[in-house]
Structure 1
Amino acid sequence: MSDQRDVAIVSCPGQLAPVPDALVDLLAAYHLQTQAEKGEAVAGVDELPERYRAEIADPQAVFADDVVLLAFSRDAAAGCLVLTAPVDGRSEVKRLWTDPGFRGRGIASSLISAALVHSAESGVSAVQLSVWKWRTGAIALYERLGFAVTESWDEREDLVCMERSV
């Protein structure tokens, strides 16, 4: 297991200027892997659904009101997380992704912890997320970090919705 002191979390609230190439690469990897897991693998970013291509092409516009967290291990981008702007006292964790080469080093835990700290400092009362039911490792991680399954707010099949108080 790697020493978590090797991990640095960088917060990019509001407008990302300039957009780090690392974020674009991490978002692309996240969406390509998710499409494959859904049984809808595509050959490249250009074949992803439009809403995902938009995130990759212009994260500055898509996440303008959100906080984007990037994790670095030494100088390499290791993971990302998007924390949505609060609505009714809640924020949502989206696009949590750890580069496969950095898994098992506490990157995802560090990103979620940083998101929870930011949420608390922003006066958010709860953080929610949705995760595909086959991502059992992610679900176990969320449960270890205090998230519990809650009633779904998303109509898509195979999503598990979770929430925790801040």
Structure 2
Amino acid sequence: MSVTVREAVFPRDAAAVSALVGAYLRQTEAEKGERGLAADTFPERYAREIDDPAAAFTGRHALFATVDGADVGLVVSSTVPEGTELSRVWTDPRARGRGVGTALLTAALNGAVRPVRLSVWEWREPAVRMYRAAGFEVVPSWDDRPGLVCLELR
């Protein structure tokens, strides 16, 4: 098994990115719902990411991972005034534990302007461990949503 990571090229990769971001967002909303943190309706901004990822991610870099020809992971990288921000970091649950998340994170960090920041839900402990192993440190939150951990790599 080998993990391949490459930058999405739109419109060619729109369906793959749409499926991956959709899985990420649906899983996230389900987990938030279990903890009483979800909105009553699926946020419109999320629907836009699924329906038209090329437009939603304009000016950002969407990287996706494949294993044996199957699309299994995603990360979106943005240049922000503070440095670089990573979002939508996702590995299909069936592919976890195979180095997909680490491969995506490594690719996203390659050439990224420091500091690199991201946020993750506190209950996603394996992801928090992966970020900490990569050198990210917990920092004061820039987001007021309860349960969100903000991390930064200098």
Same fold (TM over 0.5): yes
Matches of 1:116 and 1:92 in 2, distance apart? 10
**Pairing partner for 2:3 from 7, 11, 28:** 7
- The percent identity for this pair of structures is 42
Matches of 2:34 and 2:122 in 1, distance apart? 16
Give how far 1:16 is off: 2.2
- Calculate the TM-score normalised by the size of structure 2: 0.90
Give how far 1:154 is off: 0.9
Give how far 1:88 is off: 2.2
Contact 2:17 2:64 in 1 (8 A): yes
Runs of 4+ off more than 4 Å? none
Matches of 2:80 and 2:87 in 1, distance apart? 14
In structure 1, give the amino acid aligned to 2:80.
Answer: V
Q: Secondary structure at the match of 2:27?
A: helix
- Calculate the TM-score normalised by the size of structure 1: 0.84
**Pairing partner for 2:66 from 66, 72, 75:** 72
Give how far 1:89 is off: 4.6
In structure 2, give the amino acid aligned to 1:145.
Answer: A
Give how far 1:66 is off: 0.3
1:12-161 alignment, distance < 5 Å: 12=8, 16-39=10-33, 48-84=42-78, 86-119=79-112, 124-161=113-150
Contact 2:14 2:54 in 1 (8 A): no
CA-based RMSD: 1.7
Matches of 2:34 and 2:13 in 1, distance apart? 28
Give how far 1:22 is off: 1.6
Structure 1: stretches of 5+ with no match in the other structure? 42-46
Contact 2:14 2:53 in 1 (8 A): no
